[in-house]
Amino acid sequence: MNNTILVTGGAGFIGSNFVLDWITWETDPVVNLDKLTYAGNLQNLASLKGNPRHTFVRGDIGDSSLIDELLANHKPRAIVNFAAESHVDRSIHGPGEFIQTNMVGTFHLLESTRSYWGSLSENDKKNFRFLHVSTDEVYGSLAPNDPAFKETNTYEPNSPYSASKAASDHLVRAYHHTYGLPVLTTNCSNNYGPYHFPEKLIPLIIHNALADKPLPIYGDGQQIRDWLYVQDHCSAIRRVLQDGKIGETYNIGGWNEKPNLEVVHTLCAMLDDLSPRADGTPYASQITYVTDRPGHDRRYAIDATKINRELGWKPAETFETGIRKTVEWHLTHQDWVRNVTSGDYKKWIETNYAQS
């Protein structure tokens, strides 16, 4: 076994931030496997061009022969599985890909991993880790006064996306209990930051505001999400990979519950300050209420006590510092935004907001 780690989905939003941070903070090489769906973008990794510690491979986590070959050639000491279909609205319009990648793909990845792990020496077997990156959405929706999600909460997924992630979490758990595979699972709240695809709330609002387009608020805008700056998620995953207890799950969150409307007003005010509209009117004038998401979860909140107590992790950014960095990043990376919002992106926006 080598020191290499295999990252899947490392050209997406969180995966690419993780790979960039890994190269900065760690010394081990990374093999990055990504299918490059609409959400995967090699431009995110442009700064790693020619870096001998980063190897990119285009491929599917469900392609067993490719995974077997990668594991045999690179002999990684760990796999960090980010690869997934990740957008709730897309899962409502077309759940098939979510079942295929999140459930079937994870199953094939686990099977290849089990076979590779079985071939290792006893010592390497002990040191190997399979870290599965999951979401708080598997726990369902909270009422206003419910305590935040703990690792012991029951799974109550409500969307095809969260159901497919829940199924993958269960498979990972089963591979530990049945076969002894050394797994770790993390369940994180909503991320935001650089390279966030503008189909998700925060980058969509920044993009639409600057493009003088409506800022769509689903329903009454009082749904609550718990926001975490993406690099804090990445540092938490590194902590769990290093010292997490095999077979355990860790909730990751920033203690930043905010109603959507408040997030949108914060973004508008920041843009008013950093890049005012030409006519001097506030960006909030672009806010438009649209048809609600079917089955829309009302509130998510993560209790991140366990990872803090057991692994000493806590986020470095507050919502205020993280959101400022994010807006500034968007303003200085308009070429990135232009590239990802051409072509298929336009079709998606027309489909999703058709009834509004």
| C-alpha Rg value of the chain to the nearest Å | 20
Euclidean distance between the first and the last CA atom of the chain, given in angstroms as a whole number:
54
223 binds, among ligand DAU, ligand NAD, none (CB under 5 to 8 A by kind): ligand DAU
| 198 is a contact residue toward ligand NAD (CB under 6 A) | no
Indicate if 60 belongs to the active site.
no
Report the C-alpha gap between 287 and 150 in whole angstroms.
Answer: 34
Please list, residue by residue across 75-107, b when 16 or more beta carbons sit within 10 angstroms of its beta carbon and e when fewer do: bbbbbbbbbbbbbbbbbbeebebbbebbbbbbb
| 199 is a contact residue toward ligand NAD (CB under 6 A) | no
Distances (CA, A) of 276 to 209, 268, 303: 10, 9, 37
> Which residue from 4, 101, 153, 158 is in contact with ligand NAD, where contact means CB under 6 A?
101
> Which residue from 204, 206, 252, 340 is in contact with ligand DAU, where contact means CB under 6 A?
204
Report the C-alpha gap between 247 and 249 in whole angstroms.
Answer: 7
Task: Considering only the stretches 48-56, 59-67, 237-245, 348-356, report the one whose residues sit in contact with ligand NAD under the rule CB under 6 A.
Answer: 59-67
Least CB distance to ligand DAU at residue 233 (A): 10
> Which residue from 200, 213, 324, 325 is in contact with ligand DAU, where contact means CB under 6 A?
200
Q: Evaluate whether 298 touches 226 at the Cβ level (below 8 Å).
A: no
| 165 is a contact residue toward ligand NAD (CB under 6 A) | yes
Report the C-alpha gap between 185 and 132 in whole angstroms.
Answer: 5
14 binds, among ligand NAD, ligand DAU, none (CB under 5 to 8 A by kind): ligand NAD
> Which residue is catalytic, options 60, 85, 137, 232?
137
| Closest CB to ligand NAD among residues 8, 231 | 8
| 303 is a contact residue toward ligand DAU (CB under 6 A) | no
Give the number of residues written for the chain.
Answer: 356
Residues marked as catalytic: 136-137, 161
* Binding region for ligand NAD (CB under 6 A): 8-9, 11-15, 34-37, 39-40, 60-62, 82-86, 101, 105, 133, 135, 165, 188, 190-191, 197
